[in-house]
Amino acid sequence: MKLSQGVEWMLHGVGVIAHAPPGTSVARRVLAEQYDLPEAYLAKHLKALVRAGILTATTGPAGGFRLARDPADITALEIVEAIEGSASPFVCQEIRQRGLVAVPPELCRRPCGISTVMDRAHQAWRESLRDVTVVDLMRLIPKSLRDKLVARLAANAR
Amino acid sequence: MKLSQGVEWMLHGVGVIAHAPPGTSVARRVLAEQYDLPEAYLAKHLKALVRAGILTATTGPAGGFRLARDPADITALEIVEAIEGSASPFVCQEIRQRGLVAVPPELCRRPCGISTVMDRAHQAWRESLRDVTVVDLMRLIPKSLRDKLVARLAANAR
DNA sequence: GTATCCCTACTCGGATAATTCTTGTCCGAGTAGAGGAGG
DNA sequence: CCTCCTCTACTCGGACAAGAATTATCCGAGTAGGGATAC
């Protein structure tokens, strides 16, 4: 089980985008330089956040990405699932219905017990991430660097 | 993020092995037939459980696998981590220390805030799985099939 | 009848390919702003 | 001096390869029980 590194990039990245002065956007180039990330690949993940309705994209000069909603209304869970998909990492193959001592279909109306166990764990994971908002992510940037960051974003927005 | 299907196989499989009559082992061939799984690949996961100290293996005729400990002392978490590894699915690359507005090392004594958020979610996931024991897994097999299963295991143990 | 020895058949374990998913990259479509020309 | 038009440069978006992890497989090493043999 491995989480795409795009998750880390975007959790940091959204925290940066959220610091953009009102009315301005953050170009993916600026964001890539911020953390020294491959810009082309970063684009792939940014696109996913746009599709998920977390960011909005603007083209042309002074274009870029900005938050689509209030920072307090965007959770870390949304960001993670925008990249990784919202499906459970555990996919029940219903192996109980196969083999020599197969469970007859009439006993399989309810989901497999093991699937239930794994899903419960997955929900616990989701709940934990749902409690974190973009506002919290913004606070994770050290106070001493915040001004420097905002100045940089303002400069690149023209 | 995708979980190896070996997790499903082994959660079911350990539940079956736990039903073996005392003093007997379950050969991997029997287990493979139980759910119609590729025997050779199944071996790989079984081996992992042996390394983790969850199962013990016996070679030769009437050999096979059995629980290394009391069913109540083995958790689903152990089984999952024996296969997937105990590392967190989120690996912090410390991108905060790279790029143009890099966080100076003296501010990085404590782990990255985003890493903390992800780890907290991972711990919630682990706690949920830690609450499930092999005894619980055994109960997931429908009562009406349990006798059939035990009879089959006894027959194959010679 | 009993004990011993050998032998066969069955078991697991590690080393080895095929496939799928993640990662990484490129170039094209579209747009908004800047600059110049005309009124 | 103001307005309009054109043009350029910058933006994102989707299609296209490389690498890594998972999936799948084979064959060899070792062992324990069973059978035959000798006593």
CB B88 within 8 A of CB A5: no
Sorted by sequence, the CB contacts under 8 Å of residue A118 that are 6+ apart come out as: A88, A90, A92, B3, B7, B11, B129
Burial class (CB in 10 A: 0-12, 13-18, 19+), B44: exposed
Q: Is the CB of A29 under 7 A from strand D?
A: yes
- Strand D near-CB residues (< 7 Å), B 20-49: 38, 40-41, 43-44
- B158 has a pLDDT exceeding 70: no
Query: With bands split at pLDDT 50, 70 and 90, how would you rate the model's confidence at B1?
Result: confident
Q: Over range B123-130, report the average pLDDT.
A: 98
User: How far is A35 from A25, CA to CA, in rounded Å?
Assistant: 17
Structural domains in chain A, CATH included, are: 5-86+134-156 (1.10.10.10)
Nearest to B125 among A35, A121, A144 (CB): A121
Flag the least confident range among A31-35, B23-27, B63-67, B103-107.
B103-107
Nearest nt to the CA of A44 via C1' is D13
User: How far is A1 from A3, CA to CA, in rounded Å?
Assistant: 7
Q: Do A1 and B5 touch (CB under 8 A)?
A: no
Q: Is the CB of A43 under 7 A from strand D?
A: yes
Sorted by sequence, the CB contacts under 8 Å of residue A121 that are 6+ apart come out as: B125, B126, B128, B129
Looking at every residue in chain B, the average pLDDT score rounds to 95
pLDDT of residue A158: 65
For B37-71, write each residue's pLDDT tens digit.
999 999 999 999 999 999 999 999 999 999 999 99
Over its length of 158 residues, how does chain A's per-residue pLDDT go in tens digits? 899 999 999 999 999 999 999 999 999 999 999 999 999 999 999 999 999 999 999 999 999 999 999 999 999 999 999 999 999 999 999 999 999 889 999 999 999 999 999 999 999 999 999 999 999 999 999 999 999 999 999 998 86
CB A128 within 8 A of CB A66: no
Sorted by sequence, the CB contacts under 8 Å of residue B147 that are 6+ apart come out as: none
pLDDT of residue B80: 98
Identify the three-state secondary structure at position A121.
Answer: helix
Encoded tokens for B33: 């037939």
Query: With bands split at pLDDT 50, 70 and 90, how would you rate the model's confidence at B157?
Result: confident
Q: Over range B72-96, report the average pLDDT.
A: 96
pLDDT of residue B90: 96
Dihedral sign for Cα A45, A47, A50, A55, please.
positive
pLDDT of residue A117: 98
Taking contacts as CB-CB distances below 8 angstroms, the residues of chain B near A118 are 3, 7, 11, 129
Encoded tokens for B70: 């009391």
Query: With bands split at pLDDT 50, 70 and 90, how would you rate the model's confidence at B114?
Result: very high
Q: Over range B1-13, report the average pLDDT.
A: 96
Tokens 């239930």, located at residue: A116
